[in-house]
A and B are shown apart, each in its own frame.
Chain A
Amino acid sequence: MTATPAVLRPHAEQAYAEELAALAKADDRPRPPGWKLSPWAVTQYVLGATLDDGTEITPKYVGARRIVEVAVATLATDRALLLLGVPGTAKTWLSEHLAAAIAGDSTLLVQGTAGTAEEAVRYGWNYARLLAEGPSEKALVPSPVMTAMAEGRLARVEELTRIPSDVQDALITILSEKTLPVPELGIEVQAQRGFNIIATANDRDRGVNDLSSALRRRFNTVVLPVPQTADDEVEIVTRRVAQLGRNLDLPEVPASLTEIRRVVTVFRELRNGITEDGRTKVKSPSGTLSTAEAISVITNGIALAAHFGDGVLRPTDVAAGISGAVVQDPVSDGVVWREYLETVVREREDWDDFYAACREASH
């Protein structure tokens, strides 16, 4: 809205600057030290509302109110916040908007990877300066976390569990003592009021570095659920698939709502362990089966239909993709998938072609 048009993706605080300003004006509740808005106003910003002066606050996160309330209350108690969830549950999205609303700045970001080094969490050195002038505060390169401490703002750590354990543990001192010593200079950076950390982590990913219990204890954990109703999820998938299709310049394939609904249904049923009519329980496979994966199955199917099929999304186009997404572990997931096909899909009316295609694909 207010960002310059050349920027590909403006930050939350830029894109929603007007809403934040309107909320700040209307907000007369007490604000915790260092906060730009009161906790109440932050929840309003995230969940959407209409202010008394008529300003429309768009909802940023669609989901249960209590989740956002617990997250905001956590940050207000100066405990760190850990957002957990399978991929595609808007963890990063929520953390960006919380940082934008509370600190007015969502840019102090550490992206967690297997190669994240301690410098990214604590501080590094400008080696040219270090060699030329010796250790000095000018030669120090602060990490986003250090900056946030010094300025009393929010730091975000993405994919915390991907960071190697020893680097993760550098956060313990920061979170418990709220200080970051720099022994080389004999100084320390003490966190200003308003400092806090929002971390996100994926709880079903393989090969993650589990948090040590000492670190875990410093976080309050909020689990972001997958979309609650099938209609919500179909809606999200349809919209995302259309977007992706445009980005990838796929030939136009009439998006078949039937197939999308079918894929979403299969994903939801296997994920929740129960059929949508609530009558039959099914086993869950080891994969995550997130909304994001459903999107990729459909996108793949569309590519198949466009390039090799008759230009219409058919069960055969999604069957291979869906079997692949469900069966991550060939032995145990294979049983789950076959059992699901035989006990649920087979019985369903109008699913004959889908059943046949999936059987075909899984043999």
Chain B
Amino acid sequence: MPALDTERVHVLGVRHHGPGSARAVRAELERLRPDAVLIEGPPEADALVGHVGGLEPPVALLAYDRFEPSRAAFWPFAVFSPEWQALRYAAEHGAEVRFCDLPAAHTLAARTEEEEETGEGEAPRVRVDPLGVLAEAAGYDDPERWWDDVVEQRRDGGPSPFPAIAEAMAAVRAELAPEPETGHEARREAHMRQVLRAALRAGHERIAVVCGAWHVPALLELPAATADARLLRGLPKTRVATTWIPWTHGRLAAASGYRAGVRSPGWYHHLFTTPDRPVERWLTETARRLRDRGHAVSSSHVIEAVRLCETLAALRGRPLAGLEETAEATSAVLCEGAELRARLVHDEMALGERLGAVPPDTPTVPLQRDLAAQQKRLRLKPGALDRDLVLDLRKDVDRERSVLLHRLGLLGVPWGAPRRGTVRSRGTFRETWALRWEPEYDLAVIEASRWGTTVAAATAARVRDRAADADLPALTALVEDCLLADLPDALTDTVAQLSRRAAEDADIQRLMRALPPLARSVRYGSVRRFDADALRGVAVEMLRRVCAGLTVAVTGLDEAAAVPVAADVDATHTAAVLLGGDAETGWLDALEALAPRSGVPGRLSGRAHRLLRDSGRLDADTLRLRLSQVASPGTPPERTAAWIEGFAADSGLLLVHDSALLDLIDQWLTGLSGRAFVDVLPLLRRTFGGFTAAERRSIAELVVRGGVDRDPAEQPVDTGRAAAAVAAAAAVLGLPAHT
């Protein structure tokens, strides 16, 4: 087999993201001064190289199927990616760039076929772990760490590591894969060789190849071109478009599922961008961030942290302190043992979240195409002028339009603004939107393309991301958004997150506020044929938590603070009735326990009695007894007045029908001293002012006459039995919580 002309071709084996590799590649390129650079990546992107100057990493090369944008592949680059440094070098020195991996046209087409067969497409990386073998030989249990120690943490000035990497890889390949590669990997390497041959034919003086370390041995020898051509013949093919899109460190991290990901992009970025003393600078930055959060961290803390890092590194036999040592020093010294605080600031820095940027003249992204296709299908043209859109959700096309607008809103492209009062009303069939397409939305779409290649997928990813650190009310709102935007998968995740967050939240009032929209969503979800069981489970669990903590939370509250709580209790009651079953029973039990307690504010106690009475949990005799207790001289008049307001709020009909109750109130009122009467008058006025004129008149007549007609035929309506029906009807009609 003819070996390569090593004067003309230099193969640089790298790990895809790593500051040491990046530095070494840059230094090697400066030394070699090649006039052509071959980089592992899809050849379809060759035309995009011209954009490199205007990009701000992290960015990703995106290749997607023109006909089916959801089928796509990404090649992310951070500033510390060796490939990026090679691209930059070429752009700055006018060298020619060729991407040499197998064309995405084949990989994307092959991916669907493989999915149908075995799904073997992702296997090679797992099957062969060259770094693992080398690390094991060096006595490391973690290959990442070994690579870090040997390659990544090297600073400038060392000898070029590439000959050693090539030799080591040759040895590993001889050991692990003595057979020539087959299948996908073989085709990739064949294509790399073909591109290399083409570059040689084109007469380039000096060619540098930047590729994954594993492939180096395969490129150092050039067998006859016919064998490679045969391998590449007859591959499935599809039409592919490529573009640059902004990327984030978060999606570069291995934790996000990117298979060539790194554990700590923030740390690598730091290692690559700091000129010297990385550990000192890192810990100083950690201390600065801790100080910003109000923790006292002195310079002497930093000094001791650096010393600890160095000693730990020495104890572990590492050449330089790494991320783990800094994490431990942060915890033991800077945070004085407060591990949670340490982990928070450390994780934040290790990830080092940053968002890349692409210039506006980059080719359109699939998300834009997908959006354009949907706009065309739904006959919604983006226009710069305001335009009102009224949707009838019973029509399929209008429903789809609504879903699209909701999704775009979630994606940060607020093309349609819901007209006030319509966005949360699930009951009506009508939705009114104001449409206006601003120029910056184009950029917003490009930015949103990091979330996915179709509107649906991107929105789902965005919702998941937002759910990760949303608080309870925001989460319930997201649940509703998921329903409106028709995102069943994201909904499942959001609900799981909601359940976790509800468990952490100790604020009963917040729980009570989060519950009603959720209970409504449960009903709405079942209408939309979403499996509402999970949602219902969470709602019931939240209600149980409310029941467990309600009495403690409201005991000792003053009357003014009880006003909003009473509204929450009402809303929760409606929600409990909507949920029905055990949940409702449990809630009424909790109210029953709450109602007679003396530490509970009068308004809440009164409200609880009313709700219990309306639910048929409290018979008239008990109720009279309780009112009589409350209205007796032992109770401060203010409390009595508040009790009555809570009890009678929003409807005086009850007093018209139950003369005993009215008598009790009447007696209490007439028995008050002049001063006490003046004190409670405003409250009473508010209570009775809330009744309808007809109710007020009836009450006045009764008081004047000294009692109601005790006509046995005139049975009061059984409001307890009606309550469930009324509440349900109210929810269906989308009316406020109670009427």
Contacts of B315 in A (CB 8 A): 39-40, 43, 69, 72-73, 76
Q: Are B298 and A331 in touch, CB under 8 angstroms?
A: no
Q: Which residues of A contact B332 (CB under 8 A)?
A: 70, 74, 220-222
Bound-complex Cα distance A194 to B311 (A):
16
Q: Which of B307, B324, B544, B552 contacts A331 (CB 8 A)?
A: B552
Instruction: Determine if B738 is an interface residue (Cβ-Cβ < 8 Å).
Output: no
Q: Is the Cβ of A70 less than 8 Å from the Cβ of B308? A: yes
Are the C-beta atoms of A73 and B336 separated by less than 8 Å? no
Q: A203 interface residue, CB < 8 Å from B? A: yes
Q: Are A339 and B339 in contact (CB under 8 A)?
A: no
List of A residues within 8 angstroms of B300 by Cβ: 217
Stretch at the interface among B84-92, B497-505, B519-527: B497-505
B503 contacts across to A, CB distance below 8 A: 273, 280-283, 343
- Is there contact, CB below 8 Å, between A220 and B304? yes
Q: How many A-B contacts are there with CB distance less than 8 Å?
A: 88
- Let me know if A79 and B308 touch, CB within 8 A: yes
Within 8 A of B (CB), among A59-80: 66, 69-70, 72-74, 76-77, 79
Q: A217-B301, A335-B552 are in contact. Are A74 and B308 (CB under 8 A)?
A: yes
Within 8 A of A (CB), among B547-593: 547-549, 552
Contacts of A223 in B (CB 8 A): 331, 337, 339
Q: Are A77 and B544 in contact (CB under 8 A)?
A: no
A82 to B333, CA, bound (A): 10
Q: How many residues of A contact B (CB 8 A)?
A: 36
Known: A82-B337, A281-B504. A70 touches B312 (CB 8 A): yes
A304 vs chain B, min Cβ distance (A): 28
B499 engages A280 (CB within 8 Å)? yes
Known: A70-B328, A76-B315, A213-B296. A220 touches B499 (CB 8 A): no
Known interface pairs A77-B311, A79-B304, A222-B332. Does A283 touch B504 (Cβ–Cβ under 8 Å)? yes
Q: Considering the chains assembled together, what is the distance between the CA atoms of A338 and B508 in angstroms?
A: 14
> Is A343 a contact of B337 with CB atoms below 8 Å?
no
Interface residues on B, range: 20 to 34
Interface centre among B307, B316, B503, B506 (most CB of A within 10 A): B503
Say whether A342 faces chain B, with CB atoms less than 8 Å apart.
yes
Give min CB distance, B492 to chain A, whole Å. Answer: 13
Q: Are A335 and B324 in contact (CB under 8 A)?
A: no
- Most chain-B Cβ atoms within 10 A of its Cβ — which of A73, A84, A334, A342? A73
- Contact of B541 with A by CB under 8 A: yes
Instruction: Give the dominant DSSP class at B's interface.
Output: helix
User: Using Cβ atoms and an 8 Å threshold, which residues of chain B touch A334?
Assistant: 552
User: Given the complex, which residues of B lie within 8 Å of A43, measured CB to CB?
Assistant: 315
**What residues of chain A lie closer than 8 Å to B308, measured between beta carbons?**
70, 73-74, 77, 79, 220
Across-interface contacts of A40 in B (CB, < 8 A): 315
B545 at interface by CB-CB < 8 Å:
yes
A9 to B298, CA, bound (A): 43
The answer for the CA separation of A339 and B499 in the assembled complex, in Å, is 14
| A262→B18 CA distance, assembly (Å) | 47
CA distance in complex: A237, B304 (Å): 38
The answer on a CB contact under 8 Å between A338 and B548 is: yes
> Given the complex, which residues of A lie within 8 Å of B311, measured CB to CB?
39, 73-74, 76-77
**Per-position binary interface string of chain A over residues 72-107, scored 1 when its CB falls under 8 Å from any chain B CB and 0 otherwise:** 111011010010100000000000000000000000
Is A216 located at the chain interface by the 8 A CB criterion? yes
Given contacts A281-B504, A331-B552, A339-B549, contact A69 B301 (CB under 8 A): no
The residue on B at minimum CB distance from A211 is B336
Determine which residue in B298, B332, B335, B544 has the highest number of CB atoms from chain A within 10 A of its CB, and name it: B332
CB distance from B543 to the nearest CB of A (A): 11
CA distance A338 to B590 in the complex (A): 13
| Residues of chain B in range 158-175 having any CB-CB distance to chain A below 8 Å | none
Known: A72-B315, A222-B337. A335 touches B504 (CB 8 A): no
In the complex, which residues of chain B have a beta carbon less than 8 angstroms from the beta carbon of A339?
A: 544-545, 548-549
CB distance from B291 to the nearest CB of A (A): 14
B173, chain A: closest CB distance, angstroms? 33
Find chain B residues with CB under 8 A from A77 CB: 304, 307-308, 311
- 15 A-B residue pairs with Cβ-Cβ distance under 8 Å, sorted by A, are A39-B311, A39-B315, A70-B332, A74-B332, A77-B308, A82-B337, A213-B296, A217-B298, A220-B304, A220-B333, A221-B333, A221-B336, A282-B503, A342-B548, A343-B544
Closest 4 CB pairs of A and B: A221-B337, A281-B503, A73-B311, A339-B548
Interface residues of A (CB under 8 A from B): 39-40, 43, 66, 69-70, 72-74, 76-77, 79, 82, 84, 203, 213, 216-217, 219-223, 273, 280-283, 331-332, 334-335, 338-339, 342-343
Given A84-B337, A213-B296, A280-B503, 20 extra CB contacts under 8 A: A69-B312, A69-B315, A69-B328, A70-B312, A70-B328, A73-B312, A76-B311, A77-B304, A82-B337, A217-B300, A217-B301, A217-B336, A221-B331, A221-B332, A223-B331, A223-B337, A273-B504, A281-B501, A334-B552, A339-B544
